Copies of this chain bind each other. A is one copy, B any other.
Amino acid sequence: MEQLDGRKKKILKAIIQTYLETGEPVGSRTISKFTDLNLSSATIRNEMSDLEDMGYIHQPHTSAGRIPSDKGYRLYVDALMAEKDEEIAEIKDLMIEKTDKMEKVLKQVVRTLAQNTNYATLISAPSFSSDRLKFIQLSRLNNLQLVVVVVTEGNRIRNEIIDLEEQMSDDTIFKLNFLLNNSLNGIPAAEINLGMIAQLKEQAGEYGEVVSSVLDAVANVIQVDEDLEIYTSGATNIFKYPELSDSSKASEFISTFEEKQQLVDLVKETMADEESTGIQVYIGDEAPIKTMKDCSVVTATYELGQGIRGTIGIVGPKRMDYENVVDSLKVLRAQLDTMFRK
């Protein structure tokens, strides 16, 4: 089996790029004209035949043009695709309005991204569990209800109402606040486990039985967000790509985006995998979601420091515009960084 020489690479690249644009199988004649190689269609045919043997392209059926295989896309993304200059990237700012509520920002980010790229997008909120607690407060709502407010370094706020069995004195609440803040401040939420809670309960023992149930509730508030929050947008963009808009596939795909549960797996996988660039491309089955086996997924991890991280993802057809997508994600990641850091 011969190796990929320069000419073959050029031809493969041309095939893929043409296919990215048109979505139609690419014939030898098209390539013969499209490239500046000045080769006849017959020659191209020979080369194509070789490329097919090597597994980079294939025919949907005899007597059709060629389309890239997953292996072909992989090579394209890894080696053939042009890296754009960072500078050029900076220019087309995505124009995200500044808002202070994290939730709103994230919703707007996915929205803008989906509109700009014409693919389906998702973003996970900065993960709470790797975030440190910085403030806990119990306040009396009325005789039998307290409200717990928990704030983290990442400025995420969670709260819940606790129903008491019996009344609690102001003094007890005050002392409990003191205890909680002293014991838990600066500790990553993920590290708050059962042992720790048992220990706290023991320390709090003197304040009576009620305290125990309060602590359970507090623990609950802290841990509640094990499953990440994910915002999505543009799921219906897949209808723009005929190869994906078959109604049963589309239905599954959109459901995946609607339910969000499966997206969590994707985000987790992304976060686990620490790449140098932080940008990953999953082609076809490479992604951990079955309903996306006909798609490509591009993800980027953004960092807000102190291990607080989130993931942005773009899902589209395999023939997605990888250059642009990777590029947009780079820009966006930088923007999120500066946006949240201050």
Contact = CB atoms under 8 A, between A and B. Distances in A.
Nearest to A238: B251
A160 B100 contact: yes
A262 interface: no
Nearest to A177: B139
A149 B159 contact: yes
B236 A258 contact: yes
A98 B290 CA distance: 32
Contacts of A236: 251-252, 254-255, 258
Interface in A163-178: none
Contact of A247 (B224, B235, B247): B247
A157 B161 contact: yes
Nearest to A235: B258
A149 B147 contact: yes
Contact of A147 (B157, B160, B224, B254): B157
A151 B157 contact: no
Contacts of A134: 141-142
Interface in A287-318: none
A77 interface: no
A323 B184 CA distance: 54
Interface residues of A, number: 32
Contacts of A235: 254, 258
A234 B254 CA distance: 10
A142 to B, nearest CB: 8
A111 to B, nearest CB: 9
A233 B254 CA distance: 11
A112 interface: no
Interface string A225-262: 00000001111100100000101101110110010000
A155 interface: yes
B245 A258 contact: no
Contacts of A159: 149, 157, 159
A61 interface: no
Given A149-B159, A157-B160, A239-B247, 11 more contacts: A100-B160, A135-B139, A155-B161, A157-B159, A232-B258, A235-B254, A235-B258, A236-B255, A239-B248, A247-B250, A250-B250
Ranked 3 nearest A-B pairs via Cβ: A239-B251, A236-B251, A236-B255
